[in-house]
Amino acid sequence: MGTQHSGRPRVVIIGGGFAGLTCARGLARAPVEVTLIDRRNHHVFQPLLYQVATAMLSPADISAPIRRVVRHQRNTSVVLGEVHEIDPERRVVVSDAGEIAYDILVLGAGARPVYFGHDEWAKCAPGLKTVEDALEIRREFLLAFERAETARDEDERRRELTFVIVGAGPTGVELAGAMIEIAREVVPRDFRNIDTRSARVVLIEAGDRVLPGFPARNSEHADRDLRRMGVELRLASPVTEIDERGVAIEDERIEAGNVIWAAGVEPSPLTRDLGTPLDDRGRVEVEPDLSVPGHPEIFAVGDLARVVDSATGEEVPGMAPGAMQMGRHIARLIVREARSSAGSRRPFEYRDKGTLATIGRGRAVATVWGRAFSGWPAWLVWALVHVFYLIGFRNRFMVMLEWAWAYVTYKRGARLITGEDSADEGVGWEWGRSPRQ
């Protein structure tokens, strides 16, 4: 790396997600040298990824170049590259861009979809973790209507107009709501041979209610709203098979051209390099201060850590607010220790600001200060909170406008099918085969 060692502690942050980026920003004026490494050049506001996947927003609306975010921090370098290995003994991370030595390491590399032993499902049922995932889902979603429009028989048409989402967490619920709205309200008049209002959206959940991590009243409201909107729910229904033509649950086969995986994630494999026990979901069981057992100089944060709130003893939910609070906690801790060799570390305390999920136009569920509510008030809270947290004023402003516009006109702004199929240069894929078409 081109950076010299100044004698100040070297903090290396892996991952520019909510935890990593918040931590980096918290170190802006600290007497440390920060290196933030990510394999993307941009931070993504993941809670709104489903809006990219459903052609409501453009990727740029929910993303911010990481360099831009930390450009005024002279103590911070950004490296675009992938970390392949962590060596806790030598205190280096091995990346595309060479070895990077650290005094303090913050591991916030996040999670990725996991198919519970069925990796072959991945190609039929993409997950939604990156901008690329969202663009692929958008592409396939929009193409399904096109294929249905030119379908040669009724079976094929029905299959193309059936959308299955596996997993009824917030992402699954939000996708299902958006998709049924588009099929019923947005696109009907654009097609001549099909009635897009007949499209089926099926939401499958292994657990016995939607939004399993939410208070029960939120689940009930969401369940009612989804059914009213026309989403078909299959609860307590673990998926037993996914292939290119559909999905099977215990005693039902659903023919579907479009399947999306929103059911589970697993932590980055970098966790395995730490030499510390992982929980049953592969997450690092961190100390109360968020450090890795036996390695006070390594912190694990966000989706790849199992964090227990030291005040309540409850597990911190894997959502953006928790990740941001973790990043801030570690930044404060690093600043204190860099300024004075302070004694014991303060344990992490999670401030539960509530849970939120949107279902559709004017429909959402929320729990704030222990009170569950739904409908318009919840939707308004949801919209305000999400716009507020989007990084950068420009994005905030644009997202508000896009929403306002979409709300008034019921159009979808980003309804593009991009990508090219090298085989016929025709319809193709966002991720076609030719590196440079």
Residues of span 75-94 touching its own copies by CB under 8 A? 77-82
424 contacts its own copies (rule: CB under 8 A): yes
Nearer to its own copies by Cβ, of 98 and 377: the residue is 98
**Of 401, 403, 407, 410, the one binding its own copies by CB under 8 A:** 401
Residue 250 bridge partners (DSSP):
none
Nearer to its own copies by Cβ, of 36 and 286: the residue is 36
269 contacts its own copies (rule: CB under 8 A): no
Give the C-alpha separation, 401 to 96, whole Å: 39
Nearer to its own copies by Cβ, of 61 and 225: the residue is 61
Residues near 130 by Cβ (< 8 Å), separated by ≥ 6?
40, 44, 49
Interface map 26-45 toward its own copies (x if CB under 8 A): -------------xxxx---
Stretch that binds its own copies, among 124-132, 255-263, 279-287, 304-312 (CB under 8 A): 124-132
Stretch that binds its own copies, among 96-104, 224-232, 279-287, 289-297 (CB under 8 A): 96-104
Question: Among candidates 197, 160, 228, which has minimal Cα distance to 427?
Answer: 160
Nearer to its own copies by Cβ, of 56 and 338: the residue is 56
Give the C-alpha separation, 366 to 373, whole Å: 5
Stretch that binds its own copies, among 16-24, 142-150, 306-314, 330-338 (CB under 8 A): 142-150
**Of 259, 307, 398, 399, the one binding its own copies by CB under 8 A:** 398
Q: What six digits make up the tokens of 70?
A: 């930390």
309 contacts its own copies (rule: CB under 8 A): no
**Of 90, 339, 377, 405, the one binding its own copies by CB under 8 A:** 405
Question: Among candidates 234, 233, 232, 123, which has minimal Cα distance to 183?
Answer: 232
181-200: which residues touch its own copies (CB under 8 A)?
187, 189-193
**Of 53, 61, 141, 321, the one binding its own copies by CB under 8 A:** 61
Burial 154-174 (b: 16+ CB within 10 A, else e): eeebbbbbbbbbbbbbbbbbb
Interface map 345-364 toward its own copies (x if CB under 8 A): --------------------
332 contacts its own copies (rule: CB under 8 A): no
Give the C-alpha separation, 317 to 270, whole Å: 21
Cα angle at 109 between 176 and 328, to 5 degrees?
A: 95
Give the C-alpha separation, 333 to 346, whole Å: 8
**Of 6, 150, 240, 312, the one binding its own copies by CB under 8 A:** 150
Give the C-alpha separation, 324 to 22, whole Å: 6
Question: Among candidates 282, 261, 303, 271, which has minimal Cα distance to 118?
Answer: 261
431 contacts its own copies (rule: CB under 8 A): yes
Site size toward its own copies (CB under 8 A) is 74
**Of 5, 29, 90, 123, the one binding its own copies by CB under 8 A:** 123
Selected catalytic residue, list 140, 174, 402, 430:
174
158-177: which residues touch its own copies (CB under 8 A)?
none
Four-CA torsion 151, 157, 160, 166, nearest 10 degrees? -170
Is 174 considered catalytic here? yes
Decide if 78 contacts 66 (C-beta within 8 A). Answer: yes
Question: Among candidates 131, 134, 4, which has minimal Cα distance to 65?
Answer: 131
**Of 5, 6, 85, 96, the one binding its own copies by CB under 8 A:** 96
Any idea which residues carry the catalytic annotation? 174
